[in-house]
Structure 1
Amino acid sequence: MAQKQKQNTPHFVTIKGTKEGLILHLDDKCSFDQLLSELEAKLIRTPADDTTSETQKLSVNVKVGKRYLSDNQKDILRKLVYQKKHLLVDEIDSEVITKEKADELLRETEITSVSRIIRSGQVLKVQGDLLLIGDVNPGGCVMATGNIFVMGALKGMAHAGHSGRKDAVVTASLMNPTMVRIADKYVQVDKDNPTIDIIGECAFFDEGSMSVKFDRIHILHQIRPSLNRL
């Protein structure tokens, strides 16, 4: 009878070892206090490695499923793991995001459509992707945290992925820029002494050469398949 009762005892914490460290799978249906109680018990039963120094903490990835954790609860988890073992929480992975984060992700995937000419000295900056129906004149600049699509002539500067996205691209009906920048990589074109052949209607960051390259627009579906969502 006692054996049967033991088998029916729920398990809220599962610990799995990997080459990189430990993965803690925490049940997302029980209470937070139940999680802490079982996690503390399991860490106590696991023998500590006294030979591990403070500078040799083992990395721990905590997966909490569909449970939302406040910053305070995350701190409690980190402290519990840190105190009981030679462990250090590297990441707390939740499938739940806040409304603010969801709104931010939505803005990053939205396309802002603008119909105008960007003249010299003007800067157009958007969050997410930019669809410009018009020209970018010399001295003008367009910037986006995502991709930039110019249905017109790009004769000025374009900076795609300016928040750090190296997978962003720049396209234009007529590609004749003074500068194209993808994240922190750029190509500057000297009109009086051109050293770069701009062939094609798109620009992208090439991982192989670690530089911004120009090519025909039809290759985009191969190098950036995620653009098919458009």
Structure 2
Amino acid sequence: MAGEMVSIKGTREGLVILLDPSREFEDIKQYLQRKMDSSRGFFKGARFTVYQGHTAISVRQRQELENICRQYGLIPSPEVHWPPRRAKSAAPPLRPAAAGTGEPAGLIRRTLRSGQEINCRNHVIVAGDVHPGAVVNAGGNIIIMGVCAGSVHAGTDGNTRARIAALRLTPVRLAIAGVETPGDALPSGDGPQTASLSGRRIILTPLFPGQEACRQ
């Protein structure tokens, strides 16, 4: 896990919360709480599991970590596996991310390639990359568990609070609630980032603590 205490990976089934088994449990709990709080709302409705390699965690510890994630709308699921299982057949292009009390979200369980387009009136979670030439339009937030290099538009119904998050944001085109900017006009930045509106400007901020913020 490259020394990171808690990392989040996207799979075809959902999200995997990976824990560093060499760290103390209380430190892991605090770090997970901060990580969830810094990305508040982005993972809402997603299914997840907790994984700590070959080092087992107790039922109580697992429940404590799951409860932290539940506070932010994530839903524990036994259908999420790590390492990821190889698909036996093509997944549907769009399906509900989870059933529950959270806001509806569509889950794309694959990378989107040039010519593919997703349109959803709710939130969209992509467990993969968005290649140049691919398009994602959502009435709510867009979460990409990979590289965003295509065209993305969040808040298509005019929701100015919608946001776009990706492990790396290098889009051809990015828009929120009708406010649009070409990708080459966005400031460059490394690591996971969030795009949101500030007035009529799109700004980029780090998804997790410790990164330098960028502004359009």
> Could you tell me the TM-score, scaled by structure 2's length?
0.46
Q: Which one has the bigger helix percentage?
A: 1
Higher relative contact order (CA 8 A, sep 6+): 2
> Could you tell me the TM-score, scaled by structure 1's length?
0.44
